[in-house]
């Protein structure tokens, strides 16, 4: 796939309200890089070495940290490790010389977003800054949405309480029916107003799969292969776990979903899905195996939806709106969170109010 060059105006669409910490001990390189970034970002603070960078990081909040590796007092790797202790989710980019490639594995292990080689090329720098800044922008929108969604849950539960009582009275008080009632109750809690919030986030501007592939600046074919690899065995593995729950199978399911989430790293359009899957994985990591019976139907629904999402966007490329399945995916993840929270707090589900 032929890559499209990014211009400064493309980048400014996302970067104008973002702040950067630039850490470099070379005066000339630091000066040139700061001059360029200062014309694009809201604020660019500079640090003369790793220690100076850490001091500034402790005093300020930054959307992006850009650091070089070889510096006095505190090198780039030591700085990144210190930053991770303070804020694990901090986005960090590394710019370094070719002979520093021996550090690449360690940089990946400590969660570096981008590794850019010297000498800096304007086109390559702008492309990487564009991808990273767009991700920061989308993440902030997602955080706002998540906060609103969590607040809305309280009100939604109140609004649906009376309707749920009437519905529950019509069902038999058997265990299997009880389980269905609880799932149905939580599905209704997030199926109306919550989906409106999802549409605000995901459907602000419809984009077809064809446009998505034609106008993207990254190698979507490679990402598509990673997505397929991560999801191909999801349904079969989930069935095995439901049939014979065990720590090993539960962690395999969680690891598979984690691999899927990582495959979305460069796709800022789907960071809302990535965030929802991340929360789902954290629940699976801590969940008792015998609780799978409460969420198995939802997980099978999620598996089916993810496959439809993958095929319509990355295989057939016939999706008229690449965010068509977002609401369904996020809703399934949210239902698991609600149900597991009830089980955790109450020991067993309270099916009838």
Summarised one tens digit per residue, pLDDT across range 138-167 is 888 887 877 777 666 656 555 556 555 555
Retrieve residue 348's tokens. 């067993």
More confident of the two residues 14 and 199: 14
Give 93's pLDDT tier (boundaries 50, 70, 90): very high
Nearest to 262 by CA among 85, 64, 108, 95: 108
Mean pLDDT score of the chain = 80
pLDDT of residue 199: 47
Give 118's pLDDT tier (boundaries 50, 70, 90): confident
Rounded to an integer, the average pLDDT of 59-78 is 92
What letter would DSSP give residue 311?
Answer: I
- Integer Cα distance of 90 and 223 in angstroms: 23
Give the domain ranges of the chain: 8-120, 140-346
* Pair 49, 23: CB distance under 8 Å: yes
Retrieve residue 156's tokens. 């939604």
pLDDT digits (tens, 9 = 90+) for 310-329: 999 999 999 999 998 888 89
What letter would DSSP give residue 118?
Answer: S
Query: What is residue 117's three-state secondary structure?
Result: strand
Query: What is residue 91's three-state secondary structure?
Result: strand
- Integer Cα distance of 79 and 98 in angstroms: 20
Tokens 């019976």 belong to residue:
293
pTM: 0.49
More confident of the two residues 227 and 3: 227
Give 83's pLDDT tier (boundaries 50, 70, 90): very high
* Pair 330, 160: CB distance under 8 Å: no
- Integer Cα distance of 270 and 27 in angstroms: 39
pLDDT of residue 152: 65
Retrieve residue 217's tokens. 């600046």
> 3.40.50.2300, 3.40.50.1110, 1.10.3720.10, 3.40.50.10790: which CATH number matches 8-120?
3.40.50.2300
pLDDT of residue 101: 59
Rounded to an integer, the average pLDDT of 62-83 is 92
pLDDT digits (tens, 9 = 90+) for 8-37: 888 998 999 999 999 998 888 888 899 999
Sort 74 into a burial class: Cβ within 10 Å, 0-12 / 13-18 / 19+.
buried
């Amino acid at each position: 796939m032929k890559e499209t060059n990014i211009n400064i105006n493309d980048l400014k669409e996302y970067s104008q309200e973002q702040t950067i910490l630039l850490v470099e001990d070379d005066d000339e390189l630091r000066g040139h890089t700061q001059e360029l970034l200062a014309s694009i970002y809201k604020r660019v603070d500079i640090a003369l070495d790793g220690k100076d960078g850490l001091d500034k990081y402790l005093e300020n909040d930054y959307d992006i940290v850009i650091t070089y590796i070889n510096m006095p007092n505190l090198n780039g790797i030591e700085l990144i490790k210190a930053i991770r202790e303070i804020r694990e989710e901090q986005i960090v980019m590394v710019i370094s010389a070719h002979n520093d490639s021996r550090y690449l594995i360690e940089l990946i292990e400590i969660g570096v977003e981008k590794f850019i080689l010297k000498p800096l090329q304007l086109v390559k720098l702008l492309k990487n800054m564009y991808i990273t800044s767009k991700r920061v922008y989308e993440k902030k929108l997602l955080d706002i949405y998540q906060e609103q969604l969590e607040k809305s849950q309280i009100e939604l539960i109140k609004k649906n309480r009376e309707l749920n009582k009437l519905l529950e009275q019509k069902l038999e008080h058997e265990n299997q029916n009880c389980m269905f009632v609880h799932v149905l109750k939580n599905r209704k809690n997030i199926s109306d107003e919550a989906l409106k919030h999802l549409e605000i986030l995901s459907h602000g501007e419809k984009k077809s799969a064809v446009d998505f592939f034609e106008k993207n600046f990254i190698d979507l074919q490679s990402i598509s292969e990673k997505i397929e690899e991560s999801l191909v065995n999801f349904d079969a593995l989930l069935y095995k776990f439901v049939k014979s729950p065990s720590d090993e199978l539960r962690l395999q399911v969680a690891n598979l979903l984690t691999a899927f989430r990582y495959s979305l790293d460069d796709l800022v359009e789907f960071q809302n899905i990535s965030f929802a899957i991340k929360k789902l994985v954290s629940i699976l990591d801590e969940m008792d195996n015998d609780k799978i019976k409460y969420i198995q139907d939802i997980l099978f629904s999620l598996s089916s939806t993810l496959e439809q999402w993958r095929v319509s966007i990355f295989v057939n490329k016939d999706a008229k709106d690449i965010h068509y399945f977002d609401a369904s995916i996020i809703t399934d993840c949210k239902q698991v969170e609600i149900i597991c929270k009830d089980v955790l707090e109450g020991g067993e589900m309270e099916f009838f109010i």
